[in-house]
Amino acid sequence: MPLSAIDLVFLEDVLVGLLNTPSPTGYAQRAIEYTGNILAQFPALSLSHTRKGALVANWPGRASDAPRALTAHADTLGAMVKEIKSNGRLKLTKIGGFAWNTIEGEGCTVFTHQGGTVRGSLLLSKASSHVHGSQVNDLKREDDNMEVRLDARVNSADQTRALGIEIGDFVVFDPRVELTNGFVRSRHLDDKACVACMLAAVKALHEAGLQPAQTTTLHISNYEEVGHGAASGFPPDLAELVTVDMAAVGEGQASDEFHASICVKDSGGPYHYELSQRLRSLAEAHNIPYKVDIYPYYGSDGEALWRAGGDVAVALIGPGVDASHNYERTHMDALVATTNWIVAYLVS
């Protein structure tokens, strides 16, 4: 059976909208709401939220003897104000796993607990070459040596507090989204690219008048980057979970920006063999360009469910993303392949 046509304009629009919606882990509600508003357009889905804040959509299938779920995460890397320095600048604590040098010089927004925003940038505390010479090169990029310079006239902690900034306020780094020649370059393609693919798959099935083969839960996670996103939020009779998350591209990796990948093993060990085999067969049957890969420093939301005691088959697929947890990039080819794979799974 040929796959349903994918609306590429929709896929791209949803992705760009999501990328430009700030959603660090712990403060991902805007991206959850954005996703919910789009899913609300599809009448077959019934939407709800978990108490933890994840978005869950129930989609009745032709059968319901082996219910399925797909998960992708809307939360991203980010930071929180750890300390207000005596010079009025901010010391941060990271949210999620990344290196400071990947965001050095990036613009950022502080979301104050009072509901305001303050712009600034993330810099080395000894940033000027004309003042600090070789230290700009030599200084280790660690928490104590990085600071936010606010775009406001402040030079004391009290002046910064007067802007409404306090310890615990969330800090969001500019995604810098750019589309060129089919490439999508942005921060946080992990995992907004996969949320967009999931939505495009839902649209394709709806427009074709198709129902999933099994009753399916679409789970948009909001705590993945800290390791426990999809630990909850599924029906008790769930039989299998396909995690949709980025594939790790780089030296020694099979994945690339033009294919979807299936991960057969990552830091959490092997995924479910039979479910992975079925997904590979589906990719073969539908001519979906895919790679089989192993991710050396990686954990997924599917494993979060396993670690929480979930007795379900779990597999992991997703588009190749270059320079992950850095200034990332993928290509529409990988997004289309991932979307087609989701469609093939849903109707199989």
Provide the annotated active-site residues: 224
Nearest residue (CB) to Zn ion, 150 versus 189: 189
Residue listed under structure tokens 């494993």:
303
Ranges within 239-258 binding Zn ion (CB under 5 A): 245
Mark 77-116 with x for binding to Zn ion (rule: CB under 5 A) and - for no binding.
Answer: ----------------------------------------
- In the block, tokens 């396909």 appear at 242
State the minimum distance, in angstroms, from the CB of residue 283 to Zn ion: 21
Span near Zn ion by CB under 5 A; candidates 141-149, 238-246, 248-256, 327-335: 238-246
Residue 115 CB, nearest approach to Zn ion (Å): 28
Give 290 or 295: the residue with its C-beta nearer to Zn ion: 295
CB 172 within 8 A of CB 115: no
* Shortest spacing between CB 248 and Zn ion, in angstroms: 10
| Residue 190 near Zn ion by CB under 5 A | yes
Instruction: Give the Cα separation of 106 and 237 in Å (integer).
Output: 45
Q: Using the rule CB under 5 A, is 191 a contact of Zn ion?
A: yes
Rg of the chain over all Cα atoms, to the nearest angstrom: 21
Is 266 near Zn ion (CB under 5 A)? no
Q: Measured from the CB atom, is 217 or 221 closer to Zn ion? A: 221
Q: Which residues, in sequence order, are CB contacts of 98 under 8 Å at separation 6+? A: 77, 325, 326
How far lies 79's CA from each of 12, 83, 151, 182, in Å? 27, 12, 18, 30
Taking the C-alpha atoms of residue 304 and residue 274, their distance in angstroms, rounded to an integer, is 19
Residue 95 or 163 having the CB closest to Zn ion: 95
Where residue 287 falls (left for φ over 0; alpha for ψ -120 to 50; beta otherwise) is: left
In the complex, the residues that contact Zn ion under the rule CB under 5 A are: 190-191, 245
